[in-house]
Chain A
Amino acid sequence: GAVVSQHPSRVICKSGTSVKIECRSLDFQATTMFWYRQFPKQSLMLMATSNEGSKATYEQGVEKDKFLINHASLTLSTLTVTSAHPEDSSFYICSARDPGAGGKETQYFGPGTRLLVL
């Protein structure tokens, strides 16, 4: 089946630094990818929709200057957490939409990236 990878799987950084997380679709082209954030023992919250070749669409309450999204190709989207602070520590998950054949659209999720900001 389709696979979505994320890199890195885990990152620890100092407060004030920026962290880039990559999301790749490995065997299909994804014009649309999604970025979610998951707090411990809570659900996934959609942060933004990443569209290849255009600006990302952010959900209400998500700072676009804080969480920079770039969808440079049909297989890669990146999320950069700028000037990270301890409250940004979380589990970040991406998903990629495979349009499929015959309208059988499916979303595949990456394994997630654990960010810890000290």
Chain B
Amino acid sequence: GDSVTQMEGPVTLSEEAFLTINCTYTATGYPSLFWYVQYPGEGLQLLLKATKADDKGSNKGFEATYRKETTSFHLEKGSVQVSDSAVYFCALSKAGGTSYGKLTFGQGTILTVHP
């Protein structure tokens, strides 16, 4: 079946440091890929997405590129802020048929940014 694997956390960084959270996936066909963020005490929010190979999703300074050849969708940010502290989830979704809209999540990566 489909699966998503994220780098294990927690990740602790100083403010303005560079962030990478690795994500790889296993799926048949051509899934859409997502990064969701969960701030403390809140629900999941879509951070960015990419729907086909070589697409780059970006939002709030975060970026991720859909790499079909390496089945990866790594999340990056050039300079993190304390307010970026949250749990980040990589996910995939298959379009069409009974799988449409169902999300398969990675295990989540806790990010803590210190001043």
List residues of A whose CB falls within 8 A of some B CB: 4, 6, 32, 34, 41-46, 49, 57, 93, 95, 97, 105-112
Contact = CB atoms under 8 A, between A and B. Distances in A.
A43 B43 contact: no
25 contacts: A4-B43, A32-B101, A34-B101, A34-B102, A34-B103, A41-B108, A43-B89, A43-B108, A44-B44, A44-B89, A44-B103, A45-B105, A46-B104, A49-B101, A106-B46, A107-B93, A107-B101, A107-B103, A108-B46, A109-B36, A109-B44, A110-B43, A111-B42, A111-B43, A112-B43
Nearest to B42: A111
Interface string B99-115: 00111111110000000
Interface of B: 36, 42-46, 89, 93, 98, 101-108
Nearest to A32: B101
A4 B42 CA distance: 12
Contacts, number: 45
A43 B106 contact: yes
B106 A57 contact: no
A95 B44 CA distance: 9
Contacts of B104: 46
A44 B46 contact: no
Contacts of A97: 101
B11 to A, nearest CB: 14
B37 to A, nearest CB: 11
B25 to A, nearest CB: 13
A34 B104 CA distance: 12
Contacts of A106: 46
B43 A93 contact: yes
Nearest to B43: A111
Tell which of B36, B89, B93, B101 has the most Cβ of chain A within 10 Å: B101
Given A42-B108, A43-B89, A93-B44, 5 more contacts: A42-B107, A43-B107, A44-B89, A105-B101, A109-B36
